[in-house]
């Protein structure tokens, strides 16, 4: 049981997971992509604006593209560490493909992981995909463990906590660390310490981040103001950087090779037929709205190992 009292800001950060899950469910319902599991985590959702749905489509497809590239370069002994996982359904979606992951570790505040564990335990379709051969999952210190899936409560700002919870990870295994809209909620010094630690701890690792970028213009100011309006502090200075400078920053934190693209580039890199299909799903009158939004988010790929050096947007 997690008896911690959360500060107003932490409550606001935790609420961002509800928003992300609802946006993903809305886009799935409209046919942007297939996700048989998101409905267990968000029941009823209001319709979101077309540019939001398309932005989420590019985010989910961009992340998937790099995850598939990572898995193609690994055998089944690889692992994925999902930082600030929220109610992400990636584990279950991958289970329905042929690309096996040996170990999948999800971290978030205990308030979030406890709710996620509760939903998993109540829904057979989720539970049956994480059970050990004897049909068991183990709950230890409020965390959920099975042979290849671990859902652990932890504050990413506390490295001691992170290190302890990541004891279920194998340091030498090929590892993908995913941070999807998470680092923006950490102060820059805490995010730097976390990323530096992960680079040192996992020598065969890919870091995949999807985060805000280029927030030092008018539109960025509005995004930061919106966050503050919801009780979340201003993003750290690293989010003011453009994609190239953001990638260079990752290199200073121990990631030997790093590249980043804004979501305008990611959107363009999606297969033409996929883009055409989603563009037919709903009208978007003001296309520049999507471009503006996409130019303030970036995907970055950084590696500690040559095995992953050729991962690329157009690979």
> With respect to ligand SAM, which residue has the nearer C-beta, 162 or 257?
162
Is position 180 annotated in a ligand binding site? yes
Contacts of 261 (CB under 8 A, 6+ apart): 243, 269, 298, 299, 300, 313
Alpha-carbon distances, residue 154 vs 17, 198, 246, 311 (angstroms)? 15, 15, 26, 30
Choosing from 35, 51, 88, 106, the residue that interacts with ligand SAM (CB under 6 A) is 88
List the beta bridge partners of residue 140: 143
Alpha-carbon distances, residue 181 vs 102, 127, 158, 203, 280 (angstroms)? 24, 26, 18, 24, 27
Choosing from 35, 155, 192, 262, the residue that interacts with ligand SAM (CB under 6 A) is 155
Stretch that binds ligand SAM, among 80-88, 142-150, 167-175, 246-254 (CB under 6 A): 80-88
Task: Please report whether residue 227 would count as binding ligand SAM according to CB under 6 A.
Answer: no
Of residues 250 through 309, those in contact with ligand SAM by CB under 6 A are: none
Task: Please report whether residue 186 would count as binding ligand SAM according to CB under 6 A.
Answer: yes
Of residues 96 through 125, those in contact with ligand SAM by CB under 6 A are: 108-109, 112
CA distance 263 to 172: 32
Where does residue 137 rank: exposed (0-12), middle (13-18), buried (19+ CB within 10 A)?
middle
Element (H, E) at 6: none
Is position 64 annotated in a ligand binding site? no
Task: Please report whether residue 52 would count as binding ligand SAM according to CB under 6 A.
Answer: no
Alpha-carbon distances, residue 229 vs 102, 214, 221, 233, 292 (angstroms)? 41, 20, 12, 9, 21
Stretch that binds ligand SAM, among 32-40, 47-55, 73-81, 82-90 (CB under 6 A): 82-90
CA distance 236 to 146: 36
Give least dist CB 283 to ligand SAM, A.
26
Give least dist CB 310 to ligand SAM, A.
26
Closest CA to 201 of 237, 241, 164: 164
> With respect to ligand SAM, which residue has the nearer C-beta, 20 or 298?
20
Stretch that binds ligand SAM, among 14-22, 46-54, 129-137, 245-253 (CB under 6 A): 14-22
Q: What angle do CA 39, 44, 50 make, to 5 degrees?
A: 90
Choosing from 26, 156, 263, 293, the residue that interacts with ligand SAM (CB under 6 A) is 156
Choosing from 13, 71, 130, 269, the residue that interacts with ligand SAM (CB under 6 A) is 13
Task: Please report whether residue 180 would count as binding ligand SAM according to CB under 6 A.
Answer: yes
Choosing from 121, 157, 196, 275, the residue that interacts with ligand SAM (CB under 6 A) is 157
CA distance 146 to 205: 23
CA distance 230 to 13: 9
**Interface with ligand SAM (CB under 6 A):** 13-14, 16-17, 20, 84-86, 88, 108-109, 112, 155-157, 180-182, 185-186
């Amino acid at each position: 049981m997690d008896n911690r009292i959360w500060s107003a800001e932490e409550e606001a950060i935790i609420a961002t997971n509800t928003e992300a899950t609802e946006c993903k469910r809305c886009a799935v319902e409209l046919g942007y992509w297939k996700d048989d599991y998101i409905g267990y985590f968000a029941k009823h959702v209001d319709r979101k604006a077309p540019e939001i749905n398309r932005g989420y489509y590019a985010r989910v497809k961009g992340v998937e593209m790099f995850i598939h590239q990572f898995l193609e370069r690994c055998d089944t002994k690889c692992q994925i560490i999902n930082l600030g996982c929220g109610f992400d359904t990636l584990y279950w979606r991958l289970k329905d493909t042929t690309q096996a992951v040996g170990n999948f570790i999800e971290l978030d505040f205990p308030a979030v992981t406890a709710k996620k564990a509760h939903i998993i335990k109540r829904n057979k379709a989720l539970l049956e995909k994480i059970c050990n051969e004897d049909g068991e999952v183990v709950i230890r210190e409020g965390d959920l463990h099975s042979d290849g899936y671990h859902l652990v409560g932890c504050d990413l700002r506390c490295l001691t906590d992170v290190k302890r919870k990541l004891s279920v990870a194998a340091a030498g295994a090929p590892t993908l660390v995913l941070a999807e809209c998470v680092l923006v909620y950490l102060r820059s010094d805490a995010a730097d310490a976390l990323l530096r630690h992960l680079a040192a701890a996992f020598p065969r690792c890919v870091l995949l981040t999807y985060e805000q970028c280029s927030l030092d213009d008018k539109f960025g100011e509005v995004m930061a103001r919106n966050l503050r309006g919801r009780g979340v502090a201003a993003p750290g200075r690293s989010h003011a950087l453009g994609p190239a400078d953001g990638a260079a920053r990752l290199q200073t934190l121990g990631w030997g090779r790093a590249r980043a693209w804004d979501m305008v580039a990611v959107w363009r890199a999606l297969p033409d037929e996929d883009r055409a299909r989603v563009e037919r799903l709903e009208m978007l009158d003001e296309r520049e709205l999507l471009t503006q939004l996409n130019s303030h988010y970036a995907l970055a790929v950084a590696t500690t190992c040559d095995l992953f050096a050729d991962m690329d947007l157009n690979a």
